[in-house]
Structure 1
Amino acid sequence: MVATLEEVARLAGVSRSTVSRVVNNHPNVRPEVRKRVWEVIQQVGYQPHAAARSLVTNRTQMLGLVIPRGLVTLFSDPFFPILIRGVADACTARRYYLMLSFFSDPFQQEELYRRALRSRLLDGVILSGAPLDDPLVPWLLQDNTPFVIAGRYPDERVTYVDVDNVGGARMAVEHLLRLGHRRIATITGPLTMMVGQDRLEGYRQALISRGIPVNDALIVEGDFTEEGARVAMQRLLPQRPTAVFVASDTMAVGAMKAIREAGLRIPDDVAIVGFDDLPIASAVEPPLTTVRQPIERMGAMAAEMLIGLVEGTLTGPQHI
Structure 2
Amino acid sequence: MARRPTIADVAALAGVSRATVSFVLNDRPGVAAATQQRVRAAVEKLGWTPSRSARALSTGRARAVGLVLTREPDLIGTDPFFPAFMAGIESVIAESGDGLMLHVCRPEHETDTYRRLVDDQRVDGVFLTDLRVDDTRPGLLRELGLPGVAVGADGGVEGLATVNLDDRPVVTGAVRHLVELGHRRIAYVAGPEEYLHAQRRLKACQDAVAEAGLPPCPVLPGGFTAEGGALATQELIARPDRPTAIVYANDLSATAGMAVAQEAGLRLPEDLSVVGFDDVPLASWTRPSLTTGRADAARWGRAAALALIDTIETGATPLVELDPAALMLRDSTGPAPATRPQP
Under TM normalisation by the shorter chain, which class is it? 0.7 to 0.9
Task: Tell me how far 1:268 sits from its aligned partner.
Answer: 1.0
**Paired position in structure 2 for 1:117:** 118
Q: Structure 1: where are the runs of 5+ without partners?
A: 28-33
**Paired position in structure 1 for 2:100:** 98
Between the aligned partners of 1:71 and 1:117, the Cα distance in structure 2 is 23
Between the aligned partners of 2:236 and 2:72, the Cα distance in structure 1 is 23
**Paired position in structure 2 for 1:152:** 153
Indicate how the Cα distance of structure 1 residues 171 and 7 shifts in structure 2: closer, same or farther if over 3 A, else same: farther
Q: What SS does the corresponding residue of 1:101 show, helix, strand or coil?
A: strand
**Paired position in structure 2 for 1:31:** none
State how 1:176-191 maps to structure 2 within 5 Å.
176-191=178-193
**Paired position in structure 2 for 1:232:** 232
CA-to-aligned-CA distance 1:160-208 (integer Å, 9 cap, x gap):
2132210121122222122121221111222211210121122133223
**Paired position in structure 2 for 1:245:** 247
Between the aligned partners of 1:131 and 1:84, the Cα distance in structure 2 is 20
**Paired position in structure 1 for 2:257:** 255
Between the aligned partners of 1:186 and 1:40, the Cα distance in structure 2 is 64
- Is contact 2:210-2:216 (8 Å) kept? no
State how 1:18-33 maps to structure 2 within 5 Å.
18-22=23-27
Letter in 1 for 2:294: R
Task: Tell me how far 1:257 sits from its aligned partner.
Answer: 2.6
**Paired position in structure 1 for 2:341:** none
Between the aligned partners of 1:95 and 1:304, the Cα distance in structure 2 is 14
- Is contact 2:89-2:301 (8 Å) kept? yes
Task: Tell me how far 1:139 sits from its aligned partner.
Answer: 1.1
Q: What SS does the corresponding residue of 1:107 show, helix, strand or coil?
A: helix
CA-to-aligned-CA distance 1:188-234 (integer Å, 9 cap, x gap):
2222112101211221332233x324515x12232000111111122
**Paired position in structure 2 for 1:318:** 319
State how 1:1-320 maps to structure 2 within 5 Å.
2-5=4-7, 16-22=21-27, 44-69=46-71, 73-103=75-105, 105-108=106-109, 110-152=111-153, 156-157=157-158, 158-209=160-211, 211-216=212-217, 218-237=218-237, 238=239, 239-312=241-314, 315-320=316-321
Letter in 2 for 1:131: R
Indicate how the Cα distance of structure 1 residues 292 and 69 shifts in structure 2: closer, same or farther if over 3 A, else same: same
Indicate how the Cα distance of structure 1 residues 316 and 160 shifts in structure 2: closer, same or farther if over 3 A, else same: closer
CA-to-aligned-CA distance 1:278-318 (integer Å, 9 cap, x gap):
12212322111112111101011111111111111x51352
Task: Tell me how far 1:55 sits from its aligned partner.
Answer: 3.2
- Is contact 2:62-2:123 (8 Å) kept? yes
Between the aligned partners of 1:149 and 1:39, the Cα distance in structure 2 is 43
Between the aligned partners of 1:214 and 1:46, the Cα distance in structure 2 is 69
Between the aligned partners of 1:214 and 1:43, the Cα distance in structure 2 is 74
Between the aligned partners of 1:128 and 1:39, the Cα distance in structure 2 is 44
Letter in 1 for 2:26: R
**Paired position in structure 1 for 2:32:** none
Q: What SS does the corresponding residue of 2:201 show, helix, strand or coil?
A: helix
The RMSD of aligned alpha carbons is 3.2
> Percent same amino acid among aligned pairs?
34
Aligned length in residues: 307
- Is contact 1:274-1:288 (8 Å) kept? yes
Indicate how the Cα distance of structure 1 residues 7 and 54 shifts in structure 2: closer, same or farther if over 3 A, else same: same
Task: Tell me how far 1:155 sits from its aligned partner.
Answer: 5.7
Q: TM-score, normalised by structure 2?
A: 0.78
Task: Tell me how far 1:40 sits from its aligned partner.
Answer: 7.8
Q: What SS does the corresponding residue of 1:280 show, helix, strand or coil?
A: helix
Between the aligned partners of 1:39 and 1:214, the Cα distance in structure 2 is 74
Between the aligned partners of 2:94 and 2:43, the Cα distance in structure 1 is 16
Indicate how the Cα distance of structure 1 residues 8 and 182 shifts in structure 2: closer, same or farther if over 3 A, else same: farther
Q: What SS does the corresponding residue of 2:319 show, helix, strand or coil?
A: coil
Q: TM-score, normalised by structure 1?
A: 0.83
Flag the structure with larger Rg: 2
